[in-house]
Chains A and B, each alone.
Chain A
Amino acid sequence: MIIKKIIFLLTLLCAVNTHATSQVYFTKNGNASFFSKTMLQDIKADNNQMISVLNIQTGEVQFSLLNNAFHFPKAKMEEDFNENYIESAKYPRSTFKGNITNLSEINFAKDGAYPVKVKGDMMIHGVEKRIATAGTITITNGNISAASSFNILVKDYKINIPTIVDNKVAENIKIDITCNYQKK
């Protein structure tokens, strides 16, 4: 009976302990931008309404954004992007869910810039794809920020570019992500 009680208390203690050290950071205004470069035209679009959650204990990391929030220099580009390419009425969100694979190499208690490796599932245009990418986590006075830059192929996500504008939109799109996290 006493042993049972001790086990119960220990379990409870562990649970409380886990909860106390559970460290979730988030941002609701992260930045995602993409860049398409061709001979004819450079296109850059910005989204400053990305939600991201980072659990520094488990290394889980998530990003989620609304495609219709991308802002382009020209209204026509924005319209084409939403209606013809990303089809934001049909696929309103783009997401990434993954894990930091080298979590042990990051000391969240010490200021510095730490290279990180991330693996996870990227969902764009209704197509999910497993990707691995690299980034940087920077700790400044205890504040966490993250940045990553990677390329995606539009055909991987079944985004059709009509042949008439083929030379205006690049096949390879560069994506930049930056988030300044706050503690939950």
Chain B
Amino acid sequence: MPANNLFDEQEGIHDDLQVIHTCIIVKWQPFSVKKRYTFLETTMKRELKKNILFIFIAIVLFACIGGYLVWNRPHQDVKGANAIETTSIDLYKIFTSEPLVAKSKYLNTITAVSGEIIGISLNQKNQQILLLKTQTSGASVNCTMEENIDNARAGDTIALKGICIGYIEGDSEMGLPGDVYLIRCYRSI
């Protein structure tokens, strides 16, 4: 019985198929095996199409959620992160004497710097700028604060934590030395 064997193979796949099987046996007995097979095939194709559509919708949905999460990912947390510790004098020295070593160690990394404040000002966004002392006159580790420190005074020694973005050369012809910059800084405890 090739026809029954064929249906036996499909048994247990889906309840609907079971019903269709019965229908064919009872009502469409006169149909040839080939015709019954074609009917079943069409139904299965419809099922398969449904499944593909479902998978497709699921993928699109996941992609949308994933995209949304990546797009709205928050900025790097500086305040709570661990930092590489150094002093303003050492940080400036390594950036000016061994730039490649300095870049591999500190560039775009959360760095905690301690040093003496030699200048306090506000930038155009009203963020506090603290300049930390280096051994080069007129040069400093230039820290843009994310949270202003109200009681900061020139001469104080302070520890700050921020993202080190590197060194900008000044202008040697005009006698202006460059600075090493830290952005999004917080007081380091």
Chain A residues in contact with chain B, CB under 8 A?
Answer: 24, 26, 28-29, 31, 46, 48-49, 51, 53, 55, 60, 62, 64-66, 68-69, 71, 74-76, 78, 92-93, 178, 180, 184
Contacts of A24 in B (CB 8 A): 174-176
Q: Which 4 A-B pairs have the closest CB atoms?
A: A75-B75, A29-B123, A31-B124, A48-B123
**CA gap between A49 and B131 in the complex, in Å:** 12
Contacts of B150 in A (CB 8 A): none
Which residue of A has the minimal Cβ distance to B182? Answer: A49
Which residue of A has the minimal Cβ distance to B108? Answer: A68
B113 at the interface (CB under 8 A from A): no
Interface of A is mostly: strand
Contact digits for B116-132, partner A, Cβ 8 Å, 1 yes 0 no: 00000101110101000
- A sample of 5 cross-chain residue pairs with beta-carbon separation below 8 angstroms, ordered by A number, consists of A24-B175, A66-B165, A66-B168, A68-B166, A69-B165
Q: Min CB distance, B48 to chain A, in Å?
A: 31
Contacts of A78 in B (CB 8 A): 75
Besides the known contacts A24-B174, A31-B125, 19 further A-B residue pairs in the complex with CB atoms under 8 A apart: A28-B142, A28-B179, A29-B142, A31-B123, A31-B124, A48-B124, A48-B125, A48-B127, A49-B181, A53-B170, A53-B176, A64-B168, A69-B181, A74-B73, A75-B73, A76-B70, A184-B138, A184-B174, A184-B175
Contact digits for B150-189, partner A, Cβ 8 Å, 1 yes 0 no: 0000000000000001101111001110110101100000
Q: Is the CB of A29 within 8 A of B176?
A: no
B76 at the interface (CB under 8 A from A): yes
B71 at the interface (CB under 8 A from A): yes
Q: Is the CB of A51 within 8 A of B73?
A: no
- Count of B interface residues, CB-CB < 8 Å: 32
Contacts of A66 in B (CB 8 A): 165-166, 168, 181
Q: Answer whether A68 and B165 are a contact pair too, CB < 8 Å, given A31-B125, A75-B74.
A: yes
Q: Is the CB of B166 within 8 A of A55?
A: no
Q: Is the CB of A49 within 8 A of B72?
A: no
Q: Min CB distance, A168 to chain B, in Å?
A: 11
Q: Min CB distance, A53 to chain B, in Å?
A: 5
**CA gap between A69 and B170 in the complex, in Å:** 17
Which listed residue, A26, A71, A76, touches B183 by the CB 8 Å rule?
A71
B87 at the interface (CB under 8 A from A): no
Contacts of A64 in B (CB 8 A): 168-169
**CA gap between A93 and B168 in the complex, in Å:** 8
**CA gap between A177 and B115 in the complex, in Å:** 31
Q: Is the CB of B144 within 8 A of A49?
A: yes
**CA gap between A74 and B69 in the complex, in Å:** 12
